[in-house]
Structure formats: C-alpha cells, structure tokens
Amino acid sequence: MLRDSVGAIELRDVRRLFRTTTGTLRRHAKEIVALDGLSLEVGEGELFGILGPNGAGKTTTIKVLTTLLIPTSGTASVLGLDVVRDAKEVRRKIGFVFGGERGLYYRLSGRDNLRYFAELYAVPPREIPPRVEELLELVGLRDRGDERVEGYSRGMKQRLHLARTLLHRPRVLFLDEPTIGLDPIGARELRRIVSQLHEGGATIVLTTHYLFEADELCDRIAVIDKGRVVALGTPDDLKANVSDLSVVELEVFGIDASTVERLRALEFVDSVVVEQRELRQVLRIQTRIAERAVAPLIAAVAAGQVGRVAVREATLEDAYVRLVGRVE
C-alpha cells in the first residue's frame, strides 16, 4: 500500500546509551541516556529544526541519522533506508555539517579539501573541478580557495564545511548547530545559504539553540529535552502554546537569590528567568495576568532596586522556556 506522504526521515523509539567510567582506582561504570525513546518524522523537502538545551541529545540524534552512532534500540531511516542495515547507501545520499571548526585538513587549501572530499564521495573525476568552483562560489570562498585552511576565519571554515557536504548533491542535509561561534554577519550569511538550499528542494534537519534561528528558518520544530520530544509543531504552533502568557521584563540592581525565589512562589507567576547584564539583571517573568502583575511584582522586589519595566507578548523563546524550564 502506498502512503500519501513518505517521510524523508523517520526515528522510531530510538534509545541511545553511553557507558562512561569515572574514578581512577575504583572505576564506576555509569550509563548516560542520551536518547530516551525518541520518535520523529520529517517530510521530504522540509526544513526541520531540532531545538533543545545542551545535552538534550541533538548531536546524538544527528549522529544516529548520519550512521555514526548505532542506536542501542529502536530504528531510524533516511529516504526509506535503514541507517544501520543500509548504512553505505545512506551515506551516499546525505550530507552533514557539525558545528565548530574541526573536520578539515588544515594544511591543505580550501580548494584541495573540497577536491579530496569529492574523491571520498566518488564524484566522477571530470565533474570535480567545475563542481568545486561552483560551490566555492556559492559559499563566497572563490578568492580565498587557494589559501591553507589553517588561516581561515571561523565563518570561512563553516562555509567550507557547507560546500564540502554539497559536493555529491545530497538530497538530505543534517546541520548540527551550523552557526555556533559565528559572528552575527557570518551567521546571517550561513542562514541565507541554508534558506537557498531549502528553496532548492533539499530536506534539511537543523539543530540549534538559537530560537530566532529556528523561528526564522524552520517549517517545523521539535523541542527535545533529556532525549525526548517535548513539543512538536510549526513555530506558530509553539507560540500558540504561550498565547495565554505575557512577559514582564524587570530591570533590577543587585537582586539576591532569595528574592527570585520569592517571585517564583507568587501565585500568578509562571516562571522567572534571570539574565545577568554587567551590574544589573533583567528578570523575565512569565505571567497570565499581564499588566496587572506589574505592581505586585515591583512590591515584591525591595524598593529602589527596580529600573525599567516592560510588558510584552510571549515569543517562541518564552514557549521554549515554558517547555524546558531554562534558557542557555
């Protein structure tokens, strides 16, 4: 029987444990549950975001899907191919970029890096030179292509990674925190290329912990925490989750932990996030009663400590805070 939409990517009940040891003399084996029965489905041509705090299992998910980790249990497939049984076939069809600067041959030029990866992906020899030039052009490295990678900036390396993974024209792309550590302009440039690839019809899975990035780019988002999906939907779906909430932002000076606890205990307060900004802090307080919360909140903080006050509608970030209970 034919199904009307075949998922480009499917994860079913995937668990992945890691065994680590601690201690030198008395060794204790410890088991970490990185993925705890994760299930997801991504449609063909979709730009799908995986959002979650550090340690949530984003990278582990990507590594399972790129055949680098074998699930402890459960199954995962890409384009209908099982990532364990048909690993080799999967590898031919996917591309991936892991965030960070590693994963390039530093003593080689950008161009030579691309040529070598083209060989690894069995791009026909005659097609390699034009393909390399085309991709250097796409990521804006054509002029710097003959320089050794060790002299590249972070953004350049990251763009080279993207070019590297497009050599064999993969239909599915996995991008694990591709903008991590980039300056705002570099990050924006990278997002522009990702959008362009998405418009070209590629299925893309992107992990990030920048909310605006997921909001701006993704068709759908899965929020994961502790190896499980805690929310799934379009950015608007997720925002709808917090449509009943407003956020009061209080600028305060030298507030202590006990005061924050006192605020959290208030009956009309949903959550409080403290953001440190040099000498002051900004408290972001989620509440259902909007403006009416302002006076009691100010009263709860010692007089003279409060600076600016603002009330605004909840954003995707607030939805995330509500789901995960913290921000990075």
Partner 1 sequence: MTAALRLARQSAWVNFQEVAVNGFLLFAVVWQPLFVGVTTMYMLRHRADFDPMYVVVGTALSGIWSTLLFAGSGAISHERWTGTLELLAASPASFFVVIGGKLAGTTIFSLGSLVLAFGIGTVLFGYPVKIAEPGWLAVSLLLAVVALWATGMFFAPLAILWRTVGRFLLVLEYPVFALSGFLFPVLLLPNWIVPITNLLPPYWAAVAMHGAASGDLDLSGLLRAWFFLLLTGGVLLVIASRLFVEVLTRARRAGTLALS
Residues near Mg ion (CB under 5 A)? 58-59
Judged by CB under 6 A, does residue 59 bind ligand ADP?
yes
Judged by CB under 6 A, does residue 211 bind ligand ADP?
no
How many other C-beta atoms are found inside a 10 Å radius of the C-beta of residue 169? Answer: 12
Judged by CB under 6 A, does residue 70 bind ligand ADP?
no
Write down the least CB distance from residue 36 to Mg ion, Å: 16
Q: What 3-state DSSP class applies to 59?
A: helix
Give the whole-angstrom CA distance, residue 205 versus residue 198: 10
CB nearer to Mg ion: pick between 34 and 217: 34
The answer to whether 239 and 319 are in contact (CB under 8 A) is: yes
Give the whole-angstrom CA distance, residue 219 versus residue 224: 16
Burial of 16 by CB count in 10 Å (0-12 exposed, 13-18 middle, 19+ buried)?
Answer: buried
At 176, the amino acid letter reads D
CB nearer to ligand ADP: pick between 57 and 170: 57
Give the whole-angstrom CA distance, residue 42 versus residue 222: 10
Q: Are strands 81-82 and 73-78 parallel, antiparallel or unpaired?
A: antiparallel
Write down the least CB distance from residue 55 to Mg ion, Å: 8
Residue spans of alpha helices (H) in the chain: 58-65, 87-93, 110-120, 128-138, 154-166, 184-199, 211-217, 235-240, 257-265, 294-300, 316-324
- Site residues for partner 1, 104-143, by CB under 8 A, read 104-108, 112, 115-117, 119-122, 125
CB nearer to ligand ADP: pick between 17 and 289: 17
Of 151, 110, 150, 156, nearest to 133 by C-alpha is 110
The one among 7, 14, 60, 156 contacting ligand ADP by CB under 6 A: 60
Q: What 3-state DSSP class applies to 169?
A: coil
Measured at CB, which residue is nearest to Mg ion?
59
How many other C-beta atoms are found inside a 10 Å radius of the C-beta of residue 75? Answer: 15
Partner in contact with 54, chosen from partner 1, Mg ion, ligand ADP, none, beta carbon below 5 to 8 Å by kind: ligand ADP
Partner in contact with 103, chosen from partner 1, ligand ADP, Mg ion, none, beta carbon below 5 to 8 Å by kind: partner 1
User: Which range in 48-56, 134-142, 249-257, 258-266 contacts ligand ADP by CB under 6 A?
Assistant: 48-56
CB nearer to Mg ion: pick between 46 and 176: 176
Q: Which residue has the tokens 């890096």?
A: 113
Give the whole-angstrom CA distance, residue 270 versus residue 56: 23
Judged by CB under 8 A, does residue 103 bind partner 1?
yes
Give the whole-angstrom CA distance, residue 217 versus residue 139: 18
> For 214, phi and psi rounded to 5 degrees?
-65, -40
CB nearer to partner 1: pick between 36 and 249: 36
User: Which range in 54-62, 110-118, 191-199, 299-307 contacts ligand ADP by CB under 6 A?
Assistant: 54-62
- Site residues for partner 1, 62-81, by CB under 8 A, read 66-70
The one among 1, 4, 20, 304 contacting ligand ADP by CB under 6 A: 20
CB nearer to ligand ADP: pick between 60 and 246: 60
Partner in contact with 92, chosen from partner 1, ligand ADP, Mg ion, none, beta carbon below 5 to 8 Å by kind: partner 1
Binding site for ligand ADP (CB under 6 A): 18, 20, 32, 34, 52, 54-60
Binding site for partner 1 (CB under 8 A): 18-19, 66-70, 88, 91-92, 96, 98, 100, 102-108, 112, 115-117, 119-122, 125
